[in-house]
């Protein structure tokens, strides 16, 4: 029997980084000591008080049943309280908060909620590739917004074509950014709200790295701008802030109608997120936040070790202001893919080629600060032995 996949399956983008993981795995299988800095998977454990809350919740038989489809009301209240404390943003827990099965799920779902064939979605280039997946499943078209170093990796709305803006219904933004590590200011988000109002475009701001700012910088929430909830939503995940990547819990916040649509589509996809995970999320949000400050300090020390080491061997690069990534220009004469291949072959070092994040990612590689300082220094030493920057 010949299986005919649905058309939407053929529209899905190729998972660029699956081949990267596969190639790194083959080197490890052959006995090589590989330093993998190419992925965005937090390497530190979940704080003990969150794990303990999960353990207690798992032992409670009441969590073994289906929880409410749209999530525990007490988790929604904890989220609203946390956003008020962190960003002075007021949220209605019932109508402006949606519980997600991880942030990625919501970022894919929103396109299916809002886009039809013939519509356009504005997508950062370079940007997180899973935005593309949701757009592809919806059947809509992507319009890439170039993010250039000379504009601090922010989109220049004035350069977008009128015909694209007429079709655009949704726009993705992500600050602190994956992969560029750029941050956005309150004034940029004010400009974004005005732009979205003018062109009737819903903003989807991916705030996954919102807790990670360096040198005393606290990243800005899109929802801090007056009028933001009229034009968009913000996505947050506990994966990065509390090292809960494998727990798959996040949330969408903001515009009531968009939140309603996300809850509606999730009613058809899922039953409910395991209540024990939701209780652990409450413990994360309402418990002591020292663990978050300590985590940011660890990433800053790693950043300083890595960037200082690269500069000492002659790699001219900028220190990131946020996220746990560094965005590095490749040496002259190299493509990002060829350079990444060379580092894997010659130094057994995995980095992510910029082309995997969009056409304007060419000329860069992304490196994660997801290894101890000693391991990062070892990566610098391996690079130094290649004499690429002498």
Query: Which helix (DSSP H) or strand (DSSP E) does residue 236 occupy?
Result: strand 232-237
Per the structure block, which two tokens stand in for 248? 């798959």
Do 52 and 42 sit in the same domain of this protein? no
Burial class (CB in 10 A: 0-12, 13-18, 19+), 350: buried
Tens-place pLDDT, residues 217-240: 999 999 999 999 999 999 999 999
Do 23 and 58 sit in the same domain of this protein? no
- 173 by DSSP, 3-state: which? strand
Burial class (CB in 10 A: 0-12, 13-18, 19+), 22: exposed
Q: Is residue 378 part of a domain?
A: yes
Do 303 and 257 sit in the same domain of this protein? no
Average pLDDT over residues 340-356: 95
Query: Which helix (DSSP H) or strand (DSSP E) does residue 320 occupy?
Result: none
Do 270 and 320 sit in the same domain of this protein? no
Beta bridge partners of 145: 124
Whether 105 and 250 have beta carbons less than 8 Å apart is answered as yes
Domain boundary among 286, 320, 340: 286
Helix and strand totals (H; E) in the chain: 15, 12
Query: Which helix (DSSP H) or strand (DSSP E) does residue 217 occupy?
Result: none
> What's the pLDDT score for residue 69?
85
Number of domains in the chain: 2
Do 364 and 263 sit in the same domain of this protein? no
Do 320 and 199 sit in the same domain of this protein? no
Whether 66 and 56 have beta carbons less than 8 Å apart is answered as no
Do 314 and 211 sit in the same domain of this protein? no
> What's the pLDDT score for residue 139?
94
Residue among 306, 324, 323 at smallest CA distance from 315: 306
> What's the pLDDT score for residue 8?
87
Whether 57 and 279 have beta carbons less than 8 Å apart is answered as yes
Whether 25 and 221 have beta carbons less than 8 Å apart is answered as no
Beta bridge partners of 74: none
Beta bridge partners of 325: 368
Tens-place pLDDT, residues 293-322: 999 999 999 999 999 999 999 999 999 999
Per the structure block, which two tokens stand in for 68? 């409410």
Instruction: Name every residue whose Cβ is closer than 8 Å to that of residue 4 and which is 6 or more positions away in sequence.
Output: none
Q: CA 15 from chain center: how many Å?
A: 16
Q: Is residue 324 part of a domain?
A: yes
> CA-to-CA distance for 109 and 100, rounded, in angstroms?
10
Whether 251 and 99 have beta carbons less than 8 Å apart is answered as yes
Whether 275 and 57 have beta carbons less than 8 Å apart is answered as yes
Cα torsion for 219, 224, 230, 232, to the nearest 10°? 10
- Helix H segments across 313-360? 336-347
Do 122 and 63 sit in the same domain of this protein? yes
Do 40 and 158 sit in the same domain of this protein? no
Do 134 and 270 sit in the same domain of this protein? yes
Q: Is residue 1 part of a domain?
A: no
CB atoms within 10 A of CB 311: 14
Q: For the chain, what is the mean pLDDT?
A: 95
Q: Is residue 2 part of a domain?
A: no
> CA-to-CA distance for 258 and 201, rounded, in angstroms?
12
Q: Is residue 117 part of a domain?
A: yes
Percent of the chain with pLDDT over 70: 100
Q: CA separation (Å) from 122 to 135, 172, 360? A: 10, 6, 14
pLDDT at 15 over 80: no
CATH number (domain holding residue 225):
3.40.640.10
Do 274 and 304 sit in the same domain of this protein? no
Residues spanned by the domain of 302: 7-46+290-386
pLDDT at 17 over 80: no
Do 42 and 76 sit in the same domain of this protein? no
Domain boundary among 235, 268, 286: 286
CATH number (domain holding residue 351):
3.90.1150.10
Domain boundary among 263, 286, 309: 286
> What's the pLDDT score for residue 214?
98
Tens-place pLDDT, residues 64-106: 998 888 899 999 999 999 999 999 999 999 999 999 999 999 9
Per the structure block, which two tokens stand in for 342? 């060379």
């Amino acid at each position: 029997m010949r299986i005919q996949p649905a058309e939407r399956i053929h529209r899905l983008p190729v998972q660029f980084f699956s081949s990267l993981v596969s190639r790194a795995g083959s080197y490890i299988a052959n006995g090589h000591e590989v330093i993998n800095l190419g992925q965005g998977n937090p390497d530190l454990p979940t704080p003990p008080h969150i794990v303990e809350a999960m353990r207690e919740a798992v032992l409670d038989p009441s969590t073994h049943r289906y929880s409410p489809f749209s999530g525990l009301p007490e988790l929604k209240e904890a989220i609203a309280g946390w956003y008020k404390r962190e960003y002075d943003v007021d949220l209605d827990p019932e109508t402006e908060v949606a519980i997600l099965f991880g942030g990625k799920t919501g970022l894919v779902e929103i396109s299916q909620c809002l886009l039809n064939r013939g519509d356009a979605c504005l997508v950062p280039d370079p940007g997180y590739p899973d935005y593309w997946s949701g757009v592809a499943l919806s059947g809509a078209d992507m319009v890439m917004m170039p993010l250039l170093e000379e504009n601090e990796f922010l989109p220049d709305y004035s350069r977008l074509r009128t015909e694209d803006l007429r079709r655009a219904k949704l726009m993705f933004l992500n600050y602190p950014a994956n992969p560029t590590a750029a941050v956005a200011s309150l004034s940029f988000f004010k400009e974004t709200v005005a732009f979205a109002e003018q062109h009737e475009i819903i903003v989807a701001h991916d705030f996954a790295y919102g807790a990670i700012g360096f040198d005393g910088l606290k990243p800005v929430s899109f929802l801090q701008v007056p009028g933001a909830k009229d034009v968009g939503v913000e996505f947050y995940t506990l994966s990065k802030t509390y090292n809960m990547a494998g727990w798959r819990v996040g949330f969408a916040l903001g515009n009531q109608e968009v939140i309603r649509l996300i809850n509606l589509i999730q009613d058809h996809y899922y039953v409910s997120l395991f209540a024990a995970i939701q209780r652990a999320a409450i413990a994360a949000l309402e418990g002591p936040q020292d663990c978050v400050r300590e985590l940011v300090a660890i990433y800053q020390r790693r950043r300083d070790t890595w960037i200082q080491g690269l500069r000492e061997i002659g790699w001219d690069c900028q220190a990131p202001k946020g996220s746990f990534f560094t965005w590095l220009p490749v040496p002259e004469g190299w493509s990002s893919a060829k350079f990444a291949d060379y580092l894997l072959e010659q130094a057994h070092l995995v980095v992510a080629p910029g082309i995997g994040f969009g056409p304007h990612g060419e000329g860069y590689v992304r490196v994660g600060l997801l290894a101890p300082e000693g391991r990062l220094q070892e990566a610098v030493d391996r690079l130094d032995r290649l004499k690429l920057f002498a």
